[in-house]
Structure 1
Amino acid sequence: MKQEDVLALLKRYEENTCTKAEKKLLLQWLAEQAECDEPVWQSEEERTAVREMLYHRLDRTLFTPKWYRRKAVLRPVAAACLLCLFSALAWLYAGRQSTDQYEKFYTSEAVDPGSSAALLTLADGSTIRLDEADNGLLSNKNGVMIKKMDNGELVYEVDESIPLDKDGNVAKNTISIPRGGKYQLTLPDGSKVWLNSGSTLVYPAVFVGKTRTVTLTGEAYFEVAHNRAQPFIVQALDNEIEVTGTHFNISAYHDQQQVKTTLVEGGVIVSKNKTRLVLTPGQQAISNFENDEIEKLNVDPFYALAWTKGYFVFEDLDIKTIMNDIARWYNVDIEYKGKGNYKKIGGTYLRSKGLQELLNHLEALSGAHFQLTERRVIVSM
């Protein structure tokens, strides 16, 4: 953020006029600052404002009367926020920990977090490793140019022709994200898509006909280009999500046994067989595999979109559900031992951290024991 934006947010925060979204943006910026090897201040005014904000927040949180009326045990996310504040203050005044202290989590067993990686399969069967390809023009066939931008994003440019495959159908491309990968692309209609680890998106090289239809397995965040005359449809396992122009997240992994659609902006219709559900911003549809029912919940979209901002956010989840996400992002296999009670826990973690540090946190919260050996995590209770 620009200096004037940071200072304006800090001022509104002190005046208690920040929106919920602005507070999250400010905390995200603080977390990013804390990750720098050296503090980066655009001015002494900014540094002072941050210091005062952190002190005031801690003072209000720890010493106001309402604190003592709350439950003795903090909710995991609240505890994580407090930990973040204490860490930020220590970083602000004392600097980063010494190299030896900081790297104690990054043992020789640590597995690297994911990075931008994807395989693009064109309609003719040819493939392109997008993480290895040079920036610039990747393909120019049948009136469709595919370019890789400097930021790694994939962009399509289409002329007036309609590319067809060998069977006479509109040519389709497939982008596959491996475990330990992520990727962003712009579809031929201008819609933007962010794809999470272990995901696959099938889409036409050009959108023709009455709808713009794509097929998703895994997780993706969509910012759909507005075109009311040609609705955008996502087929996600046994769900169909129809939109005209909106921002939403879909999680549709086979191992989760459900499809979650979270609406951020606009409107969508979630369908499964004869069941149809209309979502408004801040609502989530949950569809389980075993029946045709779709549950509607009022949620904070932040939790569904945290992965796009570089965070794991776990709230009231059991270890097995959490480990599914970890397995995809760090590209590891999970093995369970014992028949312990896997209680539900929560927390917020940077996805850029090494796996061993995350396992240390989970072990302290859950009571489970984690052993990392090569690319396998053994979970014991």
Structure 2
Amino acid sequence: MDKEALQQLLEKISDGTATDAEIALYNSYYIAAERAAIASGVELPDDEGIAVQMRENIQRRIAPKKRPFPVRYRYLAAAAVLAGAIVTGFLLFQPGATLYHTPSTVTVSSPEIPAGGDKAVLTLSNGKQVLLNDVNAGDIAKQAGLRIYKTASGEIVYEATGNGTDTGLNHIATPRGGQYRIVLQDGSKVWLNAASSLSYPASFPKEERKVTLSGEAYFEVAKDAGRPFKVITPSQRVDVLGTNFNVNAYPENATVHTTLLEGSVSITANASTQKTILKPGEQARLNNQTGSLLKSMVNAQDAIAWKNGYFVFNDTYLAEVLLQLSRWYDVQIDPATIPTIRYTGVIPRNEPLAKVLDMLEFTGDQQFYIENKTIKIKH
């Protein structure tokens, strides 16, 4: 960010018109400036009155409600990592920003591990498999009343060209280190996270729209009052008409998280038949063992941070942090060496693994190293 852009940002924060993302971007510069001289030469405002007003505006926007922890900067445009329940200091990171500390101490005994990307395998109803990251933009297949193609941006689209009759199941699966976007025949959009899969009819029948999910996906469901949309996982069913929501249902997790951003959804637990209806900003937590279903208000944007290119950790145990990293970077973790500590913050998903571990290491007492594509902790 150059001086002119920063000045415009300061003015927006000063008059209260800045977005959450812009506030976070300002914080990244402000905190870095307090920790060290800004190497880029960008000047922060000299007017103490303006600075105080900006800080007050920021505090009003991010002040926690009866939380036992200090204020946390949890916005997606910046990346911060705070170690432990009692925060003693932190540094905000953003893509391309200078890291104000010593060079990485993360030992890597194998080639650098890059971030994941758009990778998936599509299996058509006739059994044909397509490696999506290897095909060019254009038609992939034409079935009865249906065209399947890849856009220039890499998205897979199912487009009705007539009265679709092929209701055979299609299947898209992302590997560890992969993600993908797909537009279903009804116009609904789905973002698949790493190590996830979705099964769906090539063309939806007249009665209902039903898909089966393993792993994590974000849905923007096209409105169709006559055909409810159902997302099936091994432990629950989500019923919607037209709405935006995220489902995290990795089989290795003890809990399924369903987070609603827009509209309304009904969730039914398979084991207990317990049912709940979510409003925007609410999250349902289903215990896979007991079938109990609870809900609470959350920051719904945190749940889809992965779709927007970020890891968001909110008082998250290090074991869960490393589990998320292992899926995205396609590495293993050594659970026996993981201490019971928590992290809060935001990290860009496009950084190489060593840099991400360096961010974690800088804020805590742990030292990480990578050996044979396994994240380990020094003791």
If the length of structure 2 is used for normalisation, what is the TM-score? Answer: 0.78
Whether the aligned pair in 1 keeps the contact of 2:224 and 2:241 (CA below 8 Å) is yes
| Cα distance in 1, alignment partners of residues 179 and 225 from structure 2 | 29
Preserved CA contact (<8 Å) 1:275 1:293: yes
Select the structure with the greater relative contact order (CA < 8 A; seq sep ≥ 6): 2
How far apart, in 2, do the equivalents of 1:76 and 1:57 lie?
19
Three-state SS of the structure 1 residue aligned to 2:112 is: coil
The residue aligned with 1:270 is 267
Shift of 1:341: 4.1
Query: Matched residue of 2:333: which SS?
Result: strand
Out of 218, 240, 258, which is 2:255 matched to? Answer: 258
- Counterpart in 1 of 2:171? 174
* Alignment check: 8 A CA contact 2:106 2:370 kept: no
Q: Please say if residues 10 and 26 of structure 2, whose CA atoms lie closer than 8 Å, have aligned partners that are also in contact.
A: no
Match of 1:344 among 342, 345, 355: 342
Q: Is contact 1:345-1:365 (8 Å) kept?
A: no
Instruction: Report how far residue 174 of structure 1 moved.
Output: 0.3
Counterpart-to-counterpart distance in 1, 2:238 and 2:7: 40
Matches within 5 A, 1:150-189: 150-164=152-166, 170-189=167-186
The corresponding residue for 1:247 is 244
For the 8 Å contact 2:14–2:54, the answer to whether it is kept is: no
**Which of 145, 148, 163 matches 1:146?**
148
8 A contact 1:343–1:366 mirrored in 2: no
1:9/1:201 Cα in 2 relative to 1: closer, same or farther (>3 Å)? farther
SS, match of residue 193 in structure 1: strand
Instruction: State how far apart, in whole Å, the 2-side matches of 1:153 and 1:28 are.
Output: 29
Hey, what does 1:41 align to over in structure 2?
A: none
AA aligned opposite 1:14: S
Tell me by how many angstroms 1:309 deviates. Answer: 1.1
1:293 aligns with 2:295: no
Q: How much has 1:161 moved relative to structure 2? A: 3.8
Structure 2, unaligned stretches of length 5 or more?
29-41, 82-89
Matched, 1:360 2:358: yes
Residues 208 and 57 (structure 1 numbering): CA distance in 2 closer, same or farther, change over 3 Å?
farther
Secondary structure at the aligned position of 1:260 is classed as strand
CA distance in 1, matches of 2:169, 2:46: 51
Instruction: Tell me if structure 1 keeps the 8 A contact 2:370–2:376.
Output: yes
Give the deviation of 1:247 after TM superposition: 0.8
- Which structure has more helix as a fraction of its residues? 1
Where do residues 60-99 of structure 1 align in structure 2 (5 Å cutoff)?
Answer: 61=55, 74=70, 77=73, 80=80, 83-84=91-92
Residue in 2 that maps onto 1:167:
none
State how far apart, in whole Å, the 1-side matches of 2:156 and 2:142 are. Answer: 13
The equivalent of 1:378 in structure 2 is 376
Distance 1:145 1:358 in 2: 40
Aligned to 2:16: 16
Report how far residue 283 of structure 1 moved.
0.3
Q: How far does residue 59 in structure 1 lie from its aligned partner after superposition?
A: 8.0
Q: Distance in 2 between matches of 1:226 and 1:28?
A: 35
Instruction: Name the CA distance, whole Å, in 2 between partners of 1:259 and 1:228.
Output: 27
Please tell me whether the aligned partners of residues 310 and 350 of structure 1 are also in contact (alpha carbons under 8 angstroms): yes
Secondary structure at the aligned position of 1:229 is classed as coil
Q: CA deviation at 1:356?
A: 0.8
Q: Secondary structure at the match of 1:233?
A: strand
What displacement does 1:224 show? 0.8
* Count of equivalent residues: 341
Matched to 2:296, the amino acid is L
- Say whether the 8 Å CA contact 1:106–1:354 is kept in structure 2: no
Percent identity over paired residues? 31
Give the aligned CA root-mean-square deviation in angstroms: 3.8
SS at match of 2:246: strand
The alignment's TM-score, normalised by the length of structure 1, stands at 0.78
Deviation at 1:374, TM superposition (A): 3.2
| Cα distance, 1:53–1:376 mapped onto 2, change above 3 Å | farther
